[in-house]
Amino acid sequence: MDFRQSAALVVGGASGLGEATARRLHQEGASVVIADRDAPRGTALAEELGERAQFVATDVTDEEAVAQAVAAAAAAAPEGLRIGVMCAGIPVVQKTVSRGAPAELAPFRASIEVNLIGTFNVLRHAANQMSTNSPDARGERGVVITTASIAAFEGQIGQIAYSAAKAGVVGMTLPAARDLAKHGIRVNTIAPGTFETPMLAALPEEARQSLAAQIPFPQRLGQPAEFAELAMTMVTNQMLNGEVIRLDGALRMQPR
């Protein structure tokens, strides 16, 4: 893939894992469209990156907004949209039964709507656009990378809504790759463990150190740049297709 002739769409690209990925793709020469609900941060990042970077306000649950972000990416480079990375998501914490009452449905619906349906919304629009690309020398038209979580495999107490949504993302990966194989489009998923993100930054330092101590090696929180590095490997290694790769330092989450 010729990065300097290609565009990348990074959804949830204004902060955290998405920001690191947007920076790395831009560094490699791709034209990057940062799609996010956080307009101030997204705009600031695009301005910092400068040429070949733009921000598009996007809510992953809004069909038209995602379609517009995809269209902006398709127009951003001569060879069109070739890379799509979906990092947008929300944490939801609730127990099935708590204080004598069943869990509310609204938070569960929100988790599924954003984390699972939002991922599919980006995947379907990005893949549809990529299918119109001319194949490169290897017969490829594009790569889509989605983001799950190790909570898809070892959800902790209180993570039922989040785990269900992320397990759905894992479950979509192989059939999506099979669906899109005839179009020369690959689909892979990264399942990160505990990473230095804005969500974890809000925790007290003691809690952050406790999380890091649970990781066998390296015994620290993951860095967003390490997520971006794996995303780049997924883009460049053509045999990576239909794969879900854990990025967690051998962490296996305990019940709580």
For residue 128, the tally of other CB atoms under 10 A from its CB is 14
Judged against a pLDDT cut of 90, whether residue 256 lies above it is answered with: no
CA distances to 72, 151, 153, 193, 255 from 245, rounded to whole Å, are 29, 13, 12, 11, 22
pLDDT band at 57 (very low <50, low <70, confident <90, very high): very high
For the chain, give the percent of residues with pLDDT over 70: 100
Give me the mean pLDDT over the 87-103 stretch. Answer: 95
Average pLDDT value for the chain: 96
Judged against a pLDDT cut of 90, whether residue 79 lies above it is answered with: yes
Question: What CA–CA distance (Å, rounded) separates 13 from 17?
Answer: 7
Judged against a pLDDT cut of 80, whether residue 142 lies above it is answered with: yes
Tokens matching residue 250 = 């051998």
Domains along the chain?
A: 3-195+224-241 (3.40.50.720)
Tokens matching residue 174 = 């192989």
Question: What CA–CA distance (Å, rounded) separates 23 from 28?
Answer: 9
Question: Which carries the bigger pLDDT value, residue 256 or residue 214?
Answer: 214
Give me the mean pLDDT over the 78-82 stretch. Answer: 97
User: Which residues, listed in sequence order, are joined to residue 31 by a DSSP beta bridge?
Assistant: 7
What is the number of alpha carbons within 13 Å of residue 246 lying toward its C-beta?
Answer: 14
Give me the mean pLDDT over the 40-50 stretch. Answer: 98
Determine the pLDDT at residue 208.
Answer: 82
Task: Give 164-210 pLDDT, tens digit per residue.
Answer: 999 999 999 999 999 999 999 999 999 999 999 887 877 788 878 88
Terminal-residue alpha carbon distance, the chain: 43
Question: What CA–CA distance (Å, rounded) separates 8 from 10?
Answer: 6
Determine the pLDDT at residue 1.
Answer: 81
Judged against a pLDDT cut of 80, whether residue 104 lies above it is answered with: yes
Judged against a pLDDT cut of 80, whether residue 3 lies above it is answered with: yes
Helix axes 118-130, 160-180, angle to 10 degrees: 20
Determine the pLDDT at residue 24.
Answer: 98
Question: What CA–CA distance (Å, rounded) separates 10 from 42?
Answer: 11
CA distances to 145, 201, 245 from 248, rounded to whole Å, are 17, 18, 9
**Residues noted as catalytic:** 162
Q: Who contacts 40 (Cβ-Cβ below 8 Å, separation ≥6)?
A: none
CA distances to 96, 136, 148, 157, 222 from 244, rounded to whole Å, are 27, 25, 8, 23, 18
Give me the mean pLDDT over the 102-126 stretch. Answer: 98
Determine the pLDDT at residue 175.
Answer: 98
Give me the mean pLDDT over the 75-88 stretch. Answer: 98
Determine the pLDDT at residue 162.
Answer: 96
Tokens matching residue 220 = 């620290």
Determine the pLDDT at residue 69.
Answer: 98
User: Which residues, listed in sequence order, are joined to residue 185 by a DSSP beta bridge?
Assistant: 142
Judged against a pLDDT cut of 80, whether residue 13 lies above it is answered with: yes
Determine the pLDDT at residue 199.
Answer: 76
For residue 99, the tally of other CB atoms under 10 A from its CB is 5
